[in-house]
């Protein structure tokens, strides 16, 4: 359950803002309902895919494999019960945005990787992420504020996985630049927890469109 909850919540929270902000702005309740519908469906079927599940042994923990692991989980679940596809209907479309956002994130990070040096890697990554993705942290905080009290503990427990998600992404670039894992770990822990998230760039349509590439279905299919 932990793997599914973490991947759904964190992947959507981190990436759907980057990939398709209009979807988020249009209907918060619809988005949250989709996330919790999937979680509750898994719970009702007594499906518990945690990071130690044998079916995921061959999936390495890296930035690109997060969505792969999530898709693997869905495939396993659907194989157990083909009818479950109906329960996932609301979440399948955002999955394409997640994969697209992962692609965009990796490519944008590559744009400045050549300038990374060991001494300044944490500050440089931090400043670039804040400039290019200022809405992600605010988005997560907004989700938390709109989460029912009964689900708040689950959300908070899940969000504690966030440094691990960023560490997986940043470790690759740390290896390239010669930075130490300790530097990256310190950066992620200090930057992304705990709540509340500090004041960031206002979440407006103008800001979103100026800083985030609009993603269409055609674009998604072309780059995945």
Q: Please enumerate in sequence order all residues whose Cβ is within 8 A of that of 126, keeping only pairs 6 or more positions apart, or say none.
A: 187, 191
Q: pLDDT at position 71, please? A: 52
User: How far is 35 from 5, CA to CA, in rounded Å?
Assistant: 8
pTM listed for this prediction: 0.22
User: How far is 44 from 38, CA to CA, in rounded Å?
Assistant: 10
Would you say 168 and 102 are in contact if contact means Cβ atoms under 8 Å apart? no
Q: pLDDT at position 23, please? A: 39
Q: pLDDT at position 192, please? A: 32
User: How far is 41 from 46, CA to CA, in rounded Å?
Assistant: 9
Q: pLDDT at position 80, please? A: 56
Q: pLDDT at position 21, please? A: 40
All residue ranges of the chain with pLDDT < 50 are 1-70, 73, 84-140, 158-224
DSSP code string of 97-140: HHHHHHHHHHHHHHHHHTT--TTTHHHHHHHHHHHH-HHHHHHH
Per residue in 8-66, pLDDT (tens digit) is 444 444 343 333 344 333 433 443 444 444 444 444 444 444 444 443 344 333 333 33
Would you say 17 and 24 are in contact if contact means Cβ atoms under 8 Å apart? yes
Q: pLDDT at position 154, please? A: 54
Phi, psi angle pair for 175, to nearest 5°: -65, -40
Q: pLDDT at position 145, please? A: 63
């Amino acid at each position: 359950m932990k793997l599914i909850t973490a991947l759904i919540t964190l992947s959507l929270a981190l990436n759907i803002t980057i990939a398709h902000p209009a979807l988020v702005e249009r209907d918060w309740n619809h988005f949250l309902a989709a996330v919790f519908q999937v979680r509750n469906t898994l719970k009702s079927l007594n499906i518990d895919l945690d990071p130690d599940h044998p079916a995921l042994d061959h999936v390495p923990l890296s930035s690109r494999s997060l969505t792969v692991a999530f898709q693997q989980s869905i495939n396993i679940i659907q194989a157990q019960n083909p009818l479950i596809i109906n329960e996932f209907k609301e979440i399948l479309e955002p999955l394409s945005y997640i994969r697209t956002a992962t692609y965009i994130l990796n490519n944008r990070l590559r744009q400045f990787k050549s300038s990374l040096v060991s001494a300044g890697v944490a500050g440089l990554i931090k400043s670039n992420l804040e400039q290019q993705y200022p809405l992600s942290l605010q988005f997560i905080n907004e989700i938390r504020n709109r989460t029912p009290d009964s689900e708040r503990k689950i959300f908070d427990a899940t969000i504690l996985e966030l440094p691990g998600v960023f560490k997986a992404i940043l470790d690759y670039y740390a290896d390239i630049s010669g930075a130490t894992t300790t530097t990256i770990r310190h950066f992620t822990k200090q930057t992304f927890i705990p709540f509340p998230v500090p004041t960031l760039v206002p979440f407006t349509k103008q800001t979103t469109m100026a800083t985030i590439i609009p993603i269409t279905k055609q674009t998604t299919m072309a780059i995945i």
